[in-house]
């Protein structure tokens, strides 16, 4: 089937905006990316991608002939579809801050014109934001017409580190809004829905993948789907961590327990990994967003509140393990392996390593930290923390009293742990991601597992 290319504007050039622009250009549309930050736009115009996401640089370069970058909102006037992909950071009370969404809507509205244009909320937003954006368009667009200018909720379900594959081969595409606007979005995504595009070399089509499900629904249901999905995944992680704590006390192994319950198809294996808990820009914010929505309607959500408490308790659990081993941290050198909140990204938002460094410093430790990708970004964003950068991973171990594995980078899994622990004073390793599988002559603690010095751990 022949698909008609559309003209698309993407407002915001962060993780979601860049991924959206790359995807739409790859499946054949002409895309203009808009951002108010002139430095980001200048970098993109020169071929520099301001974030780390595996394969994104190559994909953007391959579709550069269908991509333009600008700070000018007047590019909206030619667009058939306009995506709002700006941040919604948590406010002081934990609820999402919509100032950037509101600003984007107000700034694009004057440039809407006489042809049908769909405005898409791609950012994760509270339930009711679609109606709010529709009202902003009505107030700020001189030629506003409800029949031509319609809002659709099209939430993203990307995981940083695997964003390309998640974009190109999604489980589902959720489209919420009026029938005509959803039909236009279905046409926009037709090459993705039908999988007629050529798979890029950086993200080959998975074996057995056919096509995504398409969920057509209302604005409010689409917004709720995004929040509920992230909250449920956060809940699974917190559940695994809560069970892990009990496993340590009764002599069970959380990995064996997770395998056993994950084989139940009603539960599944994914997101049952015990460890240091979640981080990043989504799980905590979106779970709190649902709690805040419940508070607005006088509807308590105790399960979600408990999920958040368990998650942040897990960071204290790791410090407690270290204190049991060293008794005091004053004057001790403690190494941190991993600063990004997860592997294959440089994103530091709500990264557990941040809280570990902060608490270790408060307790008198001298902290040395390493990350394969995120150290330059941490130098800018974590200037308020006191730690020493490790130029190479060996520096984390040299004369250290303890090392904490905070991010499960593949490079750390492949370390010669026997050699590394031999560089330490009296080696204490807190493996907060359960990645070590070699026998060590060291005091090794993991999460939800009993470890025996000098013995091989079961995989």
Q: Catalytic site residues?
A: 282
Both tokens assigned to 166: 């998640």
The enclosing H or E element of 99 equals: helix 99-108
CA dihedral 61, 66, 71, 72 (to 10 degrees): 170
User: What CA–CA distance (Å, rounded) separates 52 from 217?
Assistant: 33
CA 199 to chain centre: 23
Say whether 21 sits in a helix, a strand or coil: helix
User: What CA–CA distance (Å, rounded) separates 3 from 131?
Assistant: 30
User: What CA–CA distance (Å, rounded) separates 224 from 229?
Assistant: 8
DSSP 8-state code for residue 269: S
Phi, psi of 234 (to 5 degrees): -60, -40
Say whether 367 sits in a helix, a strand or coil: strand
List the end-to-end C-alpha distance of the chain, in Å, as a whole number: 48
User: What CA–CA distance (Å, rounded) separates 400 from 396?
Assistant: 7
Longest dimension (CA), the chain: 74
SS (H, E, C) 181-223: HHHHHHHHCHHHHHCCCCCCCCCCCCCCCCCCEEEEECHHHHH
CA-closest candidate to residue 216, choices 250, 193, 235: 193
């Amino acid at each position: 089937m022949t698909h008609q290319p559309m003209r698309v504007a993407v407002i915001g050039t962060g993780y979601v905006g860049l991924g959206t622009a790359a995807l739409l250009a790859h499946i054949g549309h002409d895309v203009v990316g808009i951002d108010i930050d002139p430095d980001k736009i200048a970098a993109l115009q020169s071929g520099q991608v301001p974030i780390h996401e595996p394969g994104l640089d190559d994909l953007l370069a391959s579709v550069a002939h269908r991509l333009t970058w600008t700070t000018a909102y007047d590019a909206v006037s030619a667009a058939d579809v306009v995506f709002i992909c700006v941040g919604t950071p948590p406010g002081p009370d934990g609820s999402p801050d919509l100032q950037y969404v509101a600003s984007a809507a107000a700034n694009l509205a004057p440039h809407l014109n006489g042809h049908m244009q769909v405005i898409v909320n791609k950012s994760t937003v509270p339930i009711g934001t679609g109606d709010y954006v529709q009202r902003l368009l009505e107030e700020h667009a001189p030629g506003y017409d409800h029949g031509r200018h319609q809002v659709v909720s099209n939430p993203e379900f990307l995981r940083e580190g695997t964003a390309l594959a998640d974009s190109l081969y999604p489980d589902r595409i959720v489209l919420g809004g009026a029938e005509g606007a959803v039909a236009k979005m279905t046409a926009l995504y037709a090459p993705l829905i039908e999988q007629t595009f050529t798979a890029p070399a950086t993200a080959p089509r998975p074996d057995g993948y056919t096509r995504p499900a398409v969920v057509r629904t209302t604005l409010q249901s689409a917004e709720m789907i995004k929040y509920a999905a992230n909250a449920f995944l956060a809940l699974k992680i917190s559940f695994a961590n809560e069970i892990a704590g009990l496993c340590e006390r009764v002599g069970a192994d959380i990995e064996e327990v997770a395998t056993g319950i994950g084989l139940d198809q009603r539960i599944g294996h994914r997101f049952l990994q015990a460890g240091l808990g979640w981080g990043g820009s989504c799980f905590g914010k979106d779970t709190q967003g649902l709690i805040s929505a419940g508070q607005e309607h006088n509807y308590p959500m105790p399960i979600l509140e408990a999920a958040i408490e368990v998650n942040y308790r897990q960071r204290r659990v790791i410090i407690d393990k270290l204190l049991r081993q060293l008794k005091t941290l004053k004057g001790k050198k403690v190494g941190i392996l991993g600063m990004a909140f997860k592997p294959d990204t440089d994103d530091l938002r709500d990264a557990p390593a941040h809280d570990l460094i902060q608490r270790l410093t408060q307790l008198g430790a001298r902290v040395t930290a390493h990350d394969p990708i995120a150290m330059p970004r941490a130098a800018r964003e974590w200037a308020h923390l006191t730690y020493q950068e490790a130029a190479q991973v060996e520096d984390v171990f040299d004369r250290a009293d303890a090392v904490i594995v905070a991010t499960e980078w593949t490079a750390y899994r492949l370390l010669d742990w026997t050699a590394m622990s031999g560089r330490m004073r009296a080696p204490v390793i807190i493996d907060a991601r359960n990645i070590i599988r070699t026998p060590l002559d060291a005091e090794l603690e993991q999460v939800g597992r009993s470890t025996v010095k000098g013995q091989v751990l079961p995989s």
